[in-house]
Chains A and B, each alone.
Chain A
Amino acid sequence: MADPRELYQQVILEHNKKPRNFGKIHSCTHQAEGHNPLCGDQLYLTLIVQEGIIEDIQFEGRGCAIDVSSASLMTTAVKGKTVQDALKLIQAFRALVRGEWNPAAHGDLGKLVVFQGVKNLPVRVKCAVLPWATLQSALDGSPIASTE
């Protein structure tokens, strides 16, 4: 089995300690809450989407380092992007943690490749995916996402 220490790289530890875009947008246009019932992780996403562009995004909640850093990096990755690009990124990220990511097909993932190691820890895939599943729900207009 791969050493999980390879997953817990500096970028993940650092985003866990100092999450970006942590908070709540009161005048949001889109929102969703995500739950991982198995471990009790909870996440609240609020967004401002105008003319198909994610102008702002913030998250609140509690979870493990993988969940929190994934949410933090996700917000930095999708802020300023079009909804269409964000939806593509969600698919690419899901492929990454399943070990099916192919840059030619899914596009570049930038810093998000640090989550590649999650594929070796099947029980932790849900932690990494929760923020992305919640974003998908928010953009689809469904208020609750669950990893179960």
Chain B
Amino acid sequence: MTYSVSDIRKDFPLLDRPFHEKPLYYLDSAVSGQMPSSVSERMRQYEMYEHTNVHRGVSTLSQQATDHFEKARDTVARFLKASSSKEIIWTRGTTEAINLVAQTWGRQNIQAGDTICLTEMEHHANIVPWQMLSQSVGAHLAVIPVSDRGELRLDELSKVLSPKTKVLALTHVSNVLGTINPIKKIITEAKKQIPSLMVLVDGAQAVAHLPVDVQDLGADFYTFSGHKLSGPTGIGVLYGRKALLDAMPPWHGGGNMILSVTWDRTTYIEAPGKFEAGTPPIAAAIGLGEAIEYLSKFNPQDVHAHEQHLLRRASEGLKKIPGLRILGESSDKVSVISFVVDGVHPHDLGTLLDHEGIVIRAGHHCAQPLMDRFQVPATTRASIAYYNNESDVDALIQATQKSVEMFHG
């Protein structure tokens, strides 16, 4: 199938709606990716004609809903190149997935005096759950620093790791800088130094831009959220190696995760069910499966070439604006551009761009330690997806130029 952005855009009614009586330019896909009509239609189909609960009783309707739900899990397993669908656990999103690992694997394996290794470019979702755990068990956090170009200082890796390091939790792609971390190389080196190390990769910002092969990367856990991948909110994924999942205690207790319950004791089913207490978001899981099917129609090289073209166009145009500085200059980055402008606070710029119909994010992007690293309170971030076009990027450049002139005028 040839890559035609104008055809793709027809699948997204939102991109064609007016906004403040102007066209809408959606450059905020790192916040949430837009959902194609086929995904919302699939969810509606489920809710209108197929809805019931899953894994319940002998009714044919429940069996069919279970089949759709489990088929979506199979789709995710193929998408991540997991060795089995049993390694795919549904969560509410990346945040819940990381908390699950911290509260189960973490509580079982991390003791006082141990170290949890993170990086300076993590989202709060991959900081706070580990900080909470380390404070409660008396462990420590160690941090791999970020260079001025916005890349991980891998020359520091062997020094940051120590025999006490039990976990390395790091992002695949920075939500602020766009940097693609060389995960496979990092995992290989880290595990050479500490063979028992557990590595969790936060894939929230990666899955919409890169093909992921969890086995090739060597990740023990890999997480992502459905809504960053043109799927619905409220659904996410935790991939875990089967041997790890089998050895982990459950997290939430309740229905759906048990083998048998008596007043004396409860036994649990195997993963993934062991980690899925209660009724799951069934329509959302089916919707995520549909979103992955939709995206699989495109050739990943075409998507990459298109996004990189728009990234270059946006970066070159923005750099010409006096006083504007882009944060994150890795040669290996996804189509995310964070920038700051001398004398113009990102929130003011955000308000002015919003009025021009341009949807971007202004703020700390849930990465306050990274803001501190670059000594900025916040940045303005434009994030480009496979459905964006040159008009989107050009509108951003022009409106930014106009707003900055007003401040400096």
Contact = CB atoms under 8 A, between A and B. Distances in A.
Contacts of A66: 347-348
Nearest to B352: A4
Given A65-B348, A127-B347, A40 B363 contact: yes
B377 A40 contact: yes
Nearest to A12: B348
B348 A8 contact: yes
A31 B299 CA distance: 60
B351 interface: yes
A39 B355 CA distance: 19
Contacts of B406: 5, 8, 13
Interface string A44-78: 00000000000000000011111010000000000
Chain B interface mostly helix, strand, loop or mixed? helix
B368 interface: yes
A1 interface: yes
8 contacts: A1-B355, A4-B354, A4-B355, A5-B406, A13-B407, A62-B377, A68-B345, A121-B351
B: contact size bracket: 10 to 19
Given A8-B406, A17-B343, A40-B363, A64 B352 contact: no
A5 B378 CA distance: 22
A123 B355 CA distance: 13
A114 B347 CA distance: 18
Given A39-B378, A40-B363, A40-B377, 18 more contacts: A3-B355, A4-B355, A5-B352, A8-B406, A13-B406, A13-B407, A39-B347, A39-B363, A39-B364, A63-B345, A64-B345, A64-B346, A65-B345, A65-B407, A68-B345, A121-B351, A124-B351, A127-B347
Interface in A94-130: 121, 123-124, 127
A45 B103 CA distance: 41
Nearest to B353: A4
Interface string A1-26: 10111001000010001000000000
A63 B343 CA distance: 11
B409 to A, nearest CB: 8
B20 interface: yes
B343 to A, nearest CB: 7
Interface centre among B348, B354, B363, B406 (most CB of A within 10 A): B348
Interface in B239-255: none
Contacts of B354: 4
Q: Which of A64, A66, A123 has the most CB of B within 10 A?
A: A64
B363 A8 contact: no
Contacts of A65: 344-345, 348, 407
Contacts of B355: 1, 3-5
Interface string B152-173: 0000000000000000000000
Interface string B362-399: 01100010010000011000000000000000000000
Nearest to A62: B377
Contacts of A41: 377
A17 B408 CA distance: 9
Contacts of A3: 355
A5 B343 CA distance: 17
Nearest to A41: B377
A124 B347 contact: yes
A95 B378 CA distance: 29
B359 to A, nearest CB: 13
Interface string B326-366: 00000000000000000111111001101100000001100
Contacts of B378: 39-40
A65 B408 CA distance: 12
Nearest to A8: B406
Contacts of B346: 64
A38 to B, nearest CB: 8
A123 B351 CA distance: 9
A68 B378 CA distance: 15
A5 B20 CA distance: 14
Nearest to B363: A39
Contacts of B345: 63-65, 68
A63 B344 CA distance: 10
Contact of B352 (A1, A8, A123): A8
A68 B348 CA distance: 11
A64 B4 CA distance: 40
Contact of A40 (B344, B352, B368): B368
Nearest to B351: A4
A64 B348 contact: yes
B345, B346, B354 pick with most chain A CB within 10 angstroms: B345
A124 B20 CA distance: 17
A127 to B, nearest CB: 7
B106 to A, nearest CB: 27
A55 B158 CA distance: 57
A17 B352 CA distance: 18
Contacts of B407: 8, 13, 65
A39 B365 CA distance: 10
A13 B345 CA distance: 11
Nearest to B407: A13
